[in-house]
Structure 1
Amino acid sequence: MRLRSQPLGNKNLIGARVEAARKSQGMKQKELLAQLQVRGVDLNASGLSKLEGQIRFVTDFELLALSDILGVSVVWLLTGEDK
């Protein structure tokens, strides 16, 4: 497993939580990318890495798909809190 070489960016709020949820489920980036593809979200490995590193923006389509795939709420992805 490669460690992040850059500090987290400021282009999205959800990247670190996406990475944490994915890892807590033992899911590899490749598996998450495949699930996204099935849902019609065209994202490559570099794009996912940048999303998780908070150095690229996240679309609303990506947000909804990530929430569904990871089994977490959109609110949790955005705020870290479940309401």
Structure 2
Amino acid sequence: MAPRKNSQTTRGRNILGGRIRALRLRLKPSVSQADLAARATLNGVPMDRPTVSRIESGKKFLRDFEIIAIASALRVSVAVLFESR
């Protein structure tokens, strides 16, 4: 059995979470976490508000298809999510 990831050592390694939150709040009108989850679900990736919260806080790592769905929900390219500030 593989060792379990310790959230203490993995926290903060999700670099996209803060960027996703910033982009979500910059939309006019701003989009709630629940709205972003619904948009991702419409893009074929089932998601709920607590999942978006874990993503934005860096507690959940994202898979490639989730990144694509979130970028589409935010109406940005995937590259924009990876841009440094």
Structure 1 length as normaliser, TM-score? 0.77
Q: How does 1:1-83 map to 2 (within 5 A)?
A: 9-25=11-27, 26-80=30-84
| RCO comparison, higher one (Cα < 8 Å, 6+) | 1
What is the alpha-carbon distance in structure 2 between the residues aligned to residue 55 and residue 11 of structure 1? 8
How far is the alpha carbon of 1:39 from its aligned partner? 1.1
Partner of 1:23, secondary structure, is helix
Aligned residues: 73
The AA in structure 2 aligned to 1:42 is P
Q: CA RMSD in A?
A: 1.5
Q: 5+ residue gaps in structure 1?
A: 1-8
1:79 and 1:40 map into 2 onto residues whose CA distance is 25
- TM-score when scaled to structure 2? 0.76
Runs (4+) of structure 1 moved beyond 6 Å? none
Percent identity of equivalent pairs = 30
